[in-house]
A and B are shown apart, each in its own frame.
Chain A
Amino acid sequence: LAKTTQPISMDSYEGQEVNITCSHNNIATNDYITWYQQFPSQGPRFIIQGYKTKVTNEVASLFIPADRKSSTLSLPRVSLSDTAVYYCLLNTGGFKTIFGAGTRLFVKA
């Protein structure tokens, strides 16, 4: 499976928009891009998934350029409770799942 690369950590302040970029240069045609959020000692929770262009739901937006070699998770107006680790991963038509190291987001008051 193709590997993803994300920043190790990011800091932000409450009320700001946070953009976390994920690189996946070797993304395959059938790959979907999926983002998860994980709080300490809890299982990851699905945030958003997309294939191309832009996807938006009630908690986030996902921007995917035409070449699909990267993607950006956008969290509008973060709060302290958004402090978590965010994982970008690729899901193919196969069954294996590979989580990268994730991005640790710390939101400050």
Chain B
Amino acid sequence: EAQVTQNPRYLITVTGKKLTVTCSQNMNHEYMSWYRQDPGLGLRQIYYSMNVEVTDKGDVPEGYKVSRKEKRNFPLILESPSPNQTSLYFCASSPRQGIVSSRSSYEQYFGPGTRLTVT
């Protein structure tokens, strides 16, 4: 089944304890992205990756790191989590992004989400 998976789905941690949220897709998509969703603020993009070893900042990258060593994986790293990073996180992938074509599709496939609480 084509899907985007995230782990863990739920995580409670303490301030300053490094953590990694994994994201994996089995659709051979080139584009992957991380979002966070907070009440009243909608979805905000953290980082995105156009392909292996190519990443760039979204709108809210502070306090996060990413890596794209393999096409299928795009982990989100919080080196020193703080309470303001308590949020619902979504990973997404897309077969095409950044290609302007009458037949291109910017459809993004989202994972199930990771609910992170930092105390």
Contact = CB atoms under 8 A, between A and B. Distances in A.
Interface of A: 30, 32, 34, 41-46, 49, 51, 87, 91-102
A71 to B, nearest CB: 15
Interface stretch (B11-19, B68-76, B79-87, B94-102): B94-102
A44 B110 contact: yes
Nearest to B98: A95
Contacts of A95: 31, 48, 50, 56, 97-98
Q: Which one of B33, B42, B59 has the highest number of Cβ atoms from chain A below 10 Å of its Cβ?
A: B42
Given A41-B113, A96-B48, A46 B107 contact: yes
B71 to A, nearest CB: 16
Interface string B33-50: 101000000111100101
Contacts, number: 64
Given A41-B113, A51-B102, A99 B107 contact: no
Interface residues of B, number: 32
B92 to A, nearest CB: 7
A49 B90 contact: no
A87 B102 CA distance: 22
A59 B66 CA distance: 35
Interface of B: 4, 31, 33, 35, 42-45, 48, 50, 56, 58-59, 88, 90, 92, 97-100, 102, 104-113, 115
B93 to A, nearest CB: 11
A9 to B, nearest CB: 13
B106 A91 contact: yes
Contacts of A93: 98-100
Contacts of B109: 46
B48 A45 contact: no
Contacts of A44: 43, 90, 108, 110
Given A44-B110, A45-B110, A102 B50 contact: no
A96 B92 contact: no
B21 to A, nearest CB: 14
A50 to B, nearest CB: 11
